[in-house]
A and B are shown apart, each in its own frame.
Chain A
Amino acid sequence: QKEVEQNSGPLSVPEGAIASLNCTYSDRGSQSFFWYRQYSGKSPELIMSIYSNGDKEDGRFTAQLNKASQYVSLLIRDSQPSDSATYLCAVPGGATNKLIFGTGTLLAVQP
């Protein structure tokens, strides 16, 4: 059974700080990793995809992948109150493209 694990939080950071969200996965053969942001009562929104080791940057967001250690992280620089949401890590589950989700980390950015 493939698993994706996240700390449920809440992770509380002050406005302007760097928020660091972490995710570990069990399937060493996983090739792609996704971060979704979900505001309360809304649907998940894809914010980052990462496929190879190293860093991928998009604006204030940086995804980091370390396949040897089987973890993927999301850094949010200059955190804003509008970044307060649940962040879901997801990994495709193989032949059916089923997404395996972590439990999500609740981020609270304090003004």
Chain B
Amino acid sequence: DTEVTQTPKHLVMGMTNKKSLKCEQHMGHRAMYWYKQKAKKPPELMFVYSYEKLSINESVPSRFSPECPNSSLLNLHLHALQPEDSALYLCASSPTGGYSNQPQHFGDGTRLSIL
């Protein structure tokens, strides 16, 4: 069991659907992250929230919209996705934002398939 919880574990959606991925951590961490991972590739950073403020957007298409309602929750809203967006979406957290030597802890991920 991980201390970063992601829901749902699997999601299949059409290109016109709107859905959301959810992430929750109760470790008191102040930085949260969204990654996208394709098969046989390392995780690719999408967004970073530090102290509930968006600090990094790695030039992610606007069909992905992040939201951080509070320090424990992170959402990723999905709309009009493309088949190439099918991937494993990972949420991670770390104790502090900004410059840090601390590792990130990953949730189990959401396996997303776009039809």
Interface residues of B (CB under 8 A from A): 2, 31, 41-43, 45, 48, 50, 55-56, 88, 90, 94, 96-109, 111
Contact A46 B43 (CB under 8 A): no
Surface stretch bound by B, among A11-19, A68-76, A87-95: A87-95
Residues of B contacting A34 with CB < 8 Å? 103
Q: What secondary structure prevails in chain A residues at the interface with B?
A: loop
Contact mask for chain A residues 10-54; partner B; CB cutoff 8 A; 1 contact, 0 none: 000000000000000000000110101000011111100101000
User: Complex Cα distance A44/B99, Å?
Assistant: 22
Cross-chain pair count, CB within 8 angstroms? 66
Q: How far, in Å, is A12 (CB) from chain B's closest CB? A: 17
Contact A43 B99 (CB under 8 A): no
- How many A residues have CB within 8 A of the partner chain? 25
User: Complex Cα distance A90/B42, Å?
Assistant: 10
Interface residues of A (CB under 8 A from B): 31-32, 34, 36, 41-46, 49, 51, 88, 90, 92, 94-99, 101-104
Q: Which residue of chain B is the closest to A51 with respect to CB atoms?
A: B101
Contact A104 B50 (CB under 8 A): no
User: Complex Cα distance A31/B99, Å?
Assistant: 11
Contact B107 A96 (CB under 8 A): no
Residues of B contacting A97 with CB < 8 Å? 31, 48, 50, 94, 96-100, 102, 104
User: Complex Cα distance A31/B100, Å?
Assistant: 9
Q: How far, in Å, is A36 (CB) from chain B's closest CB? A: 8
Q: Which residue of chain A is the closest to B109 with respect to CB atoms?
A: A43
Q: Which residue of chain B is the closest to A49 with respect to CB atoms?
A: B103
A31, A43, A51: the one contacting B2 at CB < 8 Å is: A43
Q: Which residue of chain B is the closest to A103 with respect to CB atoms?
A: B42
A-B contact pairs, 23 of them (CB 8 A): A41-B111, A43-B90, A43-B107, A44-B43, A44-B90, A46-B104, A51-B101, A88-B42, A88-B43, A92-B99, A92-B101, A96-B48, A96-B99, A97-B98, A97-B99, A97-B100, A97-B102, A98-B48, A99-B43, A101-B42, A101-B43, A103-B41, A103-B42
- Once A43-B90, A96-B55, A101-B43 are accepted as A-B contacts, the answer to whether A31 and B108 lie under 8 Å apart by CB is no
